[in-house]
Amino acid sequence: MPPFLVRFASRANFHPADASNEFRQQWTHPGDVFSVLLILGGDVVARALAQSTGWRFGLPSFSFGWVAYAVRSLVVVVGENKLMPEPDYSCLVVNGKSGHARDNKSWIIGRMVRDYDRWMDNAIRLKVRQILEEKRKENEWEELPLQAGLCVSIYKTNTEEGVGKPTDWLLVYQSIAIAILQLGVAAIPCSIVGDWGILIITAAGILLSSVTASLSHWRKEKWGGCRRLRKGEEKNVILTRGNGSQHAIVILGSHGFLDLEDLAIGQKDATTSTLTRLSIGTLAALWILLLISASGIKNNTWFLLAVGGIGSIFNVWVAGRWKHPKSVGLPLTYHTVIAKTKVMKTLYAVEEKEHRLGKAMLPIFFPGGLHKDEEITWSHLAGDYENARRAAICMDEGRWEEAEKLEEQLYRVLKKQLGTDSDFTLKSMENMILIYRNQGRQKAADELEDEVRKIREEKQADDFRYTGHLGG
């Protein structure tokens, strides 16, 4: 045998079984893994807290990532004077009267818009399906498009059902059940071999997470000191993703409801109290002590990982879970939906239904300005179109030929822009009927009158279908 092979075979430090033993030991008692996982995943904990706080007691579970979150929250509280993370879904909040739009800074409103597809009324889904089908037929496509025109849903506020108060009791019960499950898992090694360390770590983690989520500053910051609408005060607000979005949500605010435009501003008093800072600092120190203590556990560590895994799965679910506005303290009642295959026609119809709301959305969906016919239509909707006034004067004075020319010009514009089922177009058609009768053109008047009657009957049936008669 060559000398090299002799030396290689006779090495005293050659132990190929050591690696297998180390792997076996690590997978039997993965002691350091839990400590590492405690400092990873702080973003999940932050979002779970933002989604579930607002009660007088904490809801998120003890899980991986709490130490990372505790240290990060201390830095944020001291440096930025806040606990709540930024909204994770951007949207615009538009004043329904002035048209002023602002970027949303409220976590609550951001999640309302994000989850709208989940909590919208069934009538809205049917209406969207209808305009998608109409667009498919217009373009002779084989499949339905993903989006068509604009759908504006109108909700009224319900001030009799706990405004500003969370009512998600299911989440409360689930949080309690998860805590009991975690304690039950942690108690297994204590009951079998007398190892009470995992049970102590689990109980301490549940207590610290509950105390962190129960800080009063969460409620103060989440609601941002939002004011309520005064007696006799009404405020309409539009929530939308902006130009290009399929939906716009109109909320008709009334006395006692929250001022959503005020809520969208976010936290107004950006100063956290000294007590809050001391509390966060103390909790961060306690979380670090818990991390040090957990790193000392060497046996039965799979039970500790199971406890953290259960909490992490629950917190991931809480962070991404959708909520109905009522469950967060914003009870709304579906009123009606307006949708057309063209965005401008939708805004026309909204303006007819709720004065100023359609015009308030114009700068959002048409930032580049309007065509001449569109300007004429909006002037008529606002009641300041000169030709409409001149036509009315001519009719009052019996100048029927001049009135006919002016009214026909107005009718053509309204029919093109608003459609024949618009109240403004129908009113113009009724004016034409009156003009025809005074000119002795009875046949033309009768034909137009039959057309108006048919349109109104179809419009009444459609309004009945989509105005609060289908449950969500």
**353-378 per-position pLDDT tens digit:** 888 899 899 999 998 878 877 887 78
Reading the block at residue 4, the tokens are: 């090299």
Judged against a pLDDT cut of 70, whether residue 25 lies above it is answered with: no
Half-sphere exposure of 221 (CA within 13 A, CB side): 25
Q: State the pLDDT at residue 187.
A: 94
Q: State the pLDDT at residue 471.
A: 38
Average pLDDT over residues 260-277: 79
Amino acid present at 222? K
Q: Are 48 and 182 in contact (CB under 8 A)?
A: no
Q: What share of the chain is helix, strand, coil (3-state, %, to 5)?
A: 60, 10, 30
Three-state DSSP state, 157? strand
Q: State the pLDDT at residue 111.
A: 94
Judged against a pLDDT cut of 70, whether residue 387 lies above it is answered with: no
* pLDDT 10s digits, 142-198: 899 989 999 999 999 987 767 878 888 888 889 999 999 999 999 999 999 888 989
In 214-342, which residue ranges form alpha helices assigned H by DSSP? 216-223, 260-264, 274-295, 301-320
* pLDDT 10s digits, 297-319: 888 888 888 998 999 999 999 99
DSSP of 35-53, one letter per residue?
HHHHTS-HHHHHHHHHHH-
Lowest average pLDDT, out of 62-66, 241-245, 335-339, 427-431, goes to 427-431
Average pLDDT over residues 71-89: 85
Could you give the strand order of the β-sheet that contains 92-95, starting from the edge strand earlier in sequence? 101-103, 92-95, 235-240, 247-253, 150-157, 332-340
Question: How far apart are the C-alpha atoms of 227 and 329, rounded to whole Å?
Answer: 14
Taking CA atoms, 169 is separated from 59, 61, 102, 222, 323, in Å, by: 11, 16, 32, 19, 12
Q: State the pLDDT at residue 270.
A: 52
Percent of the chain predicted with pLDDT > 90: 34
Average pLDDT over residues 119-135: 93
Mean pLDDT of all residues in the chain? 83
Q: State the pLDDT at residue 127.
A: 93
Lowest average pLDDT, out of 22-36, 226-240, 388-402, goes to 22-36
Percent of the chain predicted with pLDDT > 70: 85
Judged against a pLDDT cut of 70, whether residue 11 lies above it is answered with: no
0.85 exceeded by pTM: no
Half-sphere exposure of 83 (CA within 13 A, CB side): 28
Judged against a pLDDT cut of 60, whether residue 38 lies above it is answered with: yes
